[in-house]
Structure 1
Amino acid sequence: MQKIRAKLLGTLEELLNEEYEKFKFFLEDEDTKIKIPRGELKDMSKPKLVDTLINYFAHKRAIKVVENILSKIPRKDLLPIKIGPLKRKISQNRPTKLQKNQSAKKRKIDSTPKFPGSRIITLSELKALELNDMRDLKGLTVRGKILEKVNHNYINKQGKKMKVFHATIADENDTAQVKVYNREQREFRKGANIQITNFKYSNGVIDVMRYSQINKLASKAIKATKEVPVLSLREIKQKPEGTFVNGSFKITKFSHPTKEKDKSPLRITITDGFDQINVIIFKPPKILSCEIGKYLKMLGIKVDVYKNEKQLRHRCDTYVKVQ
């Protein structure tokens, strides 16, 4: 790590002031999953920039980012950036992998990311990325306490039976929605403090996939200050198209397909007493029995626009229940 930091710093020190400003300019437009905020780059020194690049992108990716920008300035005479092999000292007292696993089980806590180069960020920092399309964030780790969780089975577009948990997690300052696909329930229960590494993210929702890592944290590791957020329909209508939201609202009207073979969707009108919105459900679950006056509970439902009007659109993995 020290060799990489020193080599990157030495490379940036070769840049003149004008070239260094160009470097930061191109870094803002670099096509990466994670963007360094523009405000941080403005007066950043070269040593600080090296540390920032490594923190955001990890070592190998940081080198590739620097090489790519150097070719644009252009300062191709500094390419390629060669890093010699890193030598590790092996201690005779170093614990074995089995000993480490046994120690972790005994303490019932794993407070560090399992993947080299992963960086822990807060839920607020994650939301600040404002990603509107699904991205793999394999270099990041988030932590939170599970405030609520429900699970259900569904059939995906390929006709495969799937299991999904919908949950809300909270850290010290914010909350986020989480979807967990085809995982065992024991590692994801209400009230647990967890950290998630290597996940997908878009429109405010964390998708935990097969390759994602979930680790339990100590019961006092996170002091969640937020309750489960309750949005009004007015607030939901102000959300951008594609955002996923949760809620429980009173049913005022609904219309089933006229015939059994009719492919028209189930349309439900819901209200919170101040505003109303339509919910569109294609291929509604057979167990969903609507009744005026009862409440429609929804988790992971999508904000949609139809004829310039906001509506909520059900997806195959959306959780809906009349209660």
Structure 2
Amino acid sequence: MAESRLVGPVRIVGVGLLGTSIGLGLRNRGIEVILADASPTNLSIAVDYGAGRAAAAGDAPQLVVVCVPPDVTAEIVARELASFPGAIVTDVASVKLAVLDDLRASGADVSRYIGTHPLAGRERGGPLAGRADLFIGRPWVVAGHDAITYQQATAIDDLILDLGATIVEMTAEDHDRSVALVSHVPQVVSTLMARRLTDAAASSLNLAGQGLRDVTRVAASDPELWVQILGANAKPVRDILLAYRDDLDRFIDALADPAAPGARRKLAEELAGGNAGVARLPGKHGQDRRFASMIVMVDDRPGQIARLLNDIGDLGVNLEDLRLEHSPGAQLGLAEISVVPEAVSRLTEELAARGWRIAG
């Protein structure tokens, strides 16, 4: 068992995906975890899965982590601050400024509070989706403010490091503007694209490839939760969407008459701008690296993906990313694998020698 930086105990309020995952990760390090949830069923499941024990009278946590929906986060944080005057309290809501403003307005003791946000999640929620390794290698924002010192917030840094995440320090304002750009607006765009599919003919949907699946993946997220998130971060999201509307208008104008002088140049400039934006996205481990891709044809039979991954591992090549595409009724699928560029030639040759068909 790895040595923990935290002393504990740690109280977790709300045992959905994040709360249960935090509990599981801390229990793996031997930290005493106390669980509380408004749902007795969720609490029982999280306890049974080993995320911690149920709260009891007399508990004296070192740290309280509030993992509840955004519309009640400030209320629960204020309650926890009042109930445990010896504890530092944090929350993991995806919006930070509104929570801090509400706490200040209520007169809560924010000298013992600092908001955080782990950039980790899954499409599924609830305690059954919890994983001890959910945060490993993921950024975890700490939104500092003037009323709390670095020394007072040490336990929160210890929590993040114990769970294998990377600390990112930001103000609440900068955090909310950042997540509006990289998370909240993409949710809106994905949702609107997916809505275009609701009345589409089945013959059209059968043509869908990985590109459409990539764009619409997060559209399957919980609407109730996203109404809360978007409402709490409305201004930054709206500002970006207004600029996005201007971008769309330029595209629409250029497409009105593609043969007009300069129209194709405008389209090319917009598309090249997209290339430039994608190139800025951090690669693996936060480095600005680009990986090379190759397409492997995979027969539609049980165990083929596992065999492919085993072969890649046997060849000593680190798989950076994997995407699968399988059209309805097709007898084979396409596995797009990403590796460092210098591995492509050898991997292509070695996989072909093992019977794999490489597209192109």
**Coarse TM-score class (shorter-chain normalised):** under 0.3
TM-score (norm. length: structure 1):
0.24
Considering fraction of residues, name the structure with more helix: 2
